Amino acid sequence: MSHNRKAFVIVSLLLALSMVLAACGAKPTPTAAPATKAPAATQAPAATQAPKPTEAPKPTQAPAKPVTIEVYYPVAVDAPIAKILNGYIADFEKQNPNIKVKPVFSGGYGDVKTTIQTTIEGGGKPPVLAVMLAADLYDLVNAGYIVPLDDFIKSMPNGDAYINDFFPAFMANSKYDGKIWSIPFQRSVVTLYYNADLFEQEGIKPPDSWESLAEAAQKLTIPGKRWGIEWPSGWPYWLFQPLAIGNGQNIVKSPTEVVFDDPKVIEAVQFYIDLSHKYHAMPEGVQKNWGNAPADFAKGAAAMIVHSSGSLRGILSQAKFKVGVMAVPGKKPGTYATVTGGGNFYMLKGASPEEQQAAWKFIEFVTQPKYAADFSIKTGYIATRKSAYDTPEMKEYIQKVPQAGQLKDMLKYAGAELSCMNLGKVRNIFHKYLQAAYNGQMTPEEAMKKAQQEADKALEMFK
């Protein structure tokens, strides 16, 4: 090898070595690693594992410069949600003058999710925070819309204690693939509301089985004046689930497996239909009365309703009688069932580190035991943190309104809400065929078998 050739090799080696040393000593930037393009929500992953979304940047110090964050929030129950949240925002901004929180209120959870999806797919910037259904977790992860929150939790001096203070039934919807993706906030359970004064007047005990529920509803029905029970089914999966759970078979088994055609589920569908066709105790067919049911109950047009615990405050403010609350009776005497529901705080992908840090500070603030208790007191939603029930305000409230404590105690009967991969499609399939059975277009067995076939096909790509 010539002298010039040797020199060239030596220089090249020295240059390569210097580049390696420089790379090893380089400090990472505070921003997230470059994102990989996430597949669309309806696109199948290339492998059996879910697509890997962008990791959240590690938390930074509180923003030194003014920062504004948008929070998308649903208003779907009979409670002054906007007024309550605006009050919390005002308190937060007093303590954090450099952070401006701009709430955007929508009609319901679906509206919030649709708006965010439309914004992202149109190339726009989504809000930094949003309250969306806890059950939407898998769809949001697979679409690459949200970021995990583990680094923010780890940055807290008491991060483990903070997370462990949330009720496990609510945190179950927050975890996936070893990460925490959302923080419970506006959470509820399916609740059977009953007119306790009317029950006492008629000598009826609170039902503890399907049979006693049907008999009470039948006895309390006055044709043309009062239904024994109203059970909304315009958005049916959630309010139906306690029937399936109460018969020993939930409709969801795992993120990739649903159970629609089990004989116990089919029997639960038939019982719902029997309440109208056999006992003539509720309206026939699909009941699109979610918004009207609490008012019907409060004014005496229904002796019982099945609804969200989040409607408690509104019902108590309108009813002129003693309101009873309980889990939905199961098939066998002495059994009960409910299912968790409601929304969690999600942090959306695309925000700057400063915006994300400001958003996390707001989450920490508004989920303090003080505010968790206050939110429960003012709405009827269940306080998501155990310590909220140790606050003087909550203890005093439960003394006055024992129903609030009874709602919390119902968590022991709670099954998992329908949540799975490709949830939007699977849920629509279930709704379609459940409503077909309710309307008499198919038998319960035919409807559930067809729903199972189509749902299996929708989930096949994720198995």
pLDDT per residue over 88-147, tens digit each? Answer: 999 999 999 999 999 998 878 888 999 999 999 999 999 999 999 999 999 999 999 999
Q: Give the pLDDT means over successive 10-residue stretches in the chain (463 positions).
A: 39 35 34 31 32 41 78 75 93 96 88 92 94 95 96 96 96 93 96 98 97 98 97 94 98 96 98 98 96 96 95 92 98 97 95 96 97 92 96 97 96 95 96 98 98 98 91
pLDDT at residue 79, rounded to an integer: 57
pLDDT at residue 76, rounded to an integer: 58
pLDDT at residue 80, rounded to an integer: 81
pLDDT at residue 43, rounded to an integer: 31
CA dist 277 → 212, 214, 232, 270, 272 (Å)? 17, 11, 16, 10, 9
pLDDT at residue 28, rounded to an integer: 33
pLDDT at residue 46, rounded to an integer: 31
pLDDT at residue 313, rounded to an integer: 87
Measure the CA–CA gap between 463 and 421, rounded to whole angstroms: 10
pLDDT at residue 63, rounded to an integer: 60
Which domains, from first to last, does the chain contain?
Answer: 67-187+342-414 (3.40.190.10), 189-340+416-462 (3.40.190.10)
pLDDT at residue 107, rounded to an integer: 77
What's the pTM value of the predicted model, to 2 decimals?
0.81
pLDDT at residue 392, rounded to an integer: 98
Torsion of CA 111, 114, 117, 121, to 10 degrees: -130
